[in-house]
Amino acid sequence: MSEITRIETTDIADLARGAAILGTGGGGDPYIGQLMALEALRISGPVELVATENLPDDAQILPVAMMGAPTVMVEKLPSVDQFVVAVNALGQYLGVKPTHIACMEAGGVNSTIPIVAAAELGLPLLDGDFMGRAFPELQMVTATLFGIPTTPMSITDDKGNAGIFNTVSNLWAEKLARVVTVEMGAASIISLYPMRGNQAREAAVAGTLSLCVRLGRAVKQARASHADPVAAVAEVLGGRVIHTGKVLDVVRRTTAGFARGKATLAGLDRNDGTTLTLNFQNEHIIATRESTVLATAPDLLICLDIDTGEPITTEAMRFGHRIALIAAPCDSRWHTPEGIELVGPRYFGYDMDPVRWNQVQLPQ
């Protein structure tokens, strides 16, 4: 699946843009992730990208991620050292030396932080992740569907505090790490889901870092050739534009380590006064036009600038922003009953079945 076998400085801008697209509104400011990854590659050289199918059974993979509210990450840049500290804390606790670093999430800074860690540690990086997009909670990964435990996990902050958790379920790992993250200042660096190569081959969503680069390039190339960058993204993801509109209002609140809220978009191409509502918890969860739900998690809801195709995070969304909303299919395993229980609308507090990206017939 991998079309690229290593990540170089020249890939980072495309990769960060693509990661922000898969971030579906969450995942933090892509510019911050881009800066950190560029700096790490300049110092340590390119990072080798390993296709999941090429992982040896006994590979020892230690994923690394940032936990917390993306709205906080914008103001509080993590230090490069902290990623290494989190990985080493888990490795030392387990008594293992990692052979590979991995992303748990394909989205926002959690696609670029592992690049920084891999560069610093001189280790290869898995071309894949365990969501195929971004989700707000630790247990919301394909690894959970395959019975891979979140813990032992490490959790660290910028002051030098560190912890290790062993929990009875992946949901308990989320609960305990969440309150510690909030106390640490609403952002922490974690290393979690330590796993072997055979486990990652089975559970990973393959090729998502390559996909990030492809998505970023598609936007760049469409703009260069005066084509439609929004259509280019929809094509790469196999999705469709379900709304174009101007942002009327965004209500945000940062609670319990999440950025929750609601965005209201007018209809650009319609003069009937109808509006579209996007509910988010770090990521966009539900898109509703009037009383019709157009699409929901676990499928992807992606906001792009209608002219440039640049992804727009929920914290960057402002009144007057002209937005194209893309709905696109998620990894098929999220549509199993176990997947829907983990990341479907009901988990987020919406009493409805999931609506797929192409399920509702749109008016012409």
Residues making contact with its own copies (CB under 8 A): 93, 159-168, 172, 175-176, 178-180, 182-184
Between 172 and 350, CB nearer to its own copies? 172
Q: Nearer to its own copies by C-beta: 79 or 166?
A: 166
Q: How far apart are CA 131 and CA 143, in angstroms?
A: 9
The residue written with tokens 């699409």 in the block is: 295
Tokens standing for 195?
């796993």
Minimum distance, C-beta of residue 355 to its own copies, in the bound complex (Å): 33
* C-beta of 153 vs 301, nearer to its own copies: 153
Minimum CB–partner distance for residue 207 and its own copies (Å) = 35
362 DSSP assignment: P
How far is 228 from 309, CA to CA, in rounded Å?
8
CA 118 to chain CA centroid, Å, is 18
Peptide bond before residue 298 is cis, with ω within 30 degrees of 0: yes
CB of 134 to its own copies, least distance (A): 24
Quote the CA–CA distance of 346 and 260 in Å, as a whole number: 16
Smallest CA-to-CA distance from 177 within 190, 193, 159, 196 is with 190
Helix (H) or strand (E) run with residue 109 in it? helix 109-121
Closest to its own copies by CB, 111 vs 170, is 170
> Which is nearer to its own copies, 93 or 350 (by Cβ)?
93
DSSP 8-state assignment for residue 150? -
List residues bridging with 100 in a β-sheet. 61
Task: Compute the least distance from the CB of residue 68 to its own copies, in Å.
Answer: 14
In the complex, minimum distance from the CB of residue 157 to its own copies, in angstroms, rounded to a whole number: 9
Residue number, 35 or 164, with CB nearest to its own copies: 164
Task: Answer yes or no: are the C-beta atoms of 153 and 177 closer than 8 Å.
Answer: yes
Report, in Å, the least distance between residue 194 CB and its own copies.
Answer: 15
168 Cβ partners below 8 Å, 6+ apart? none
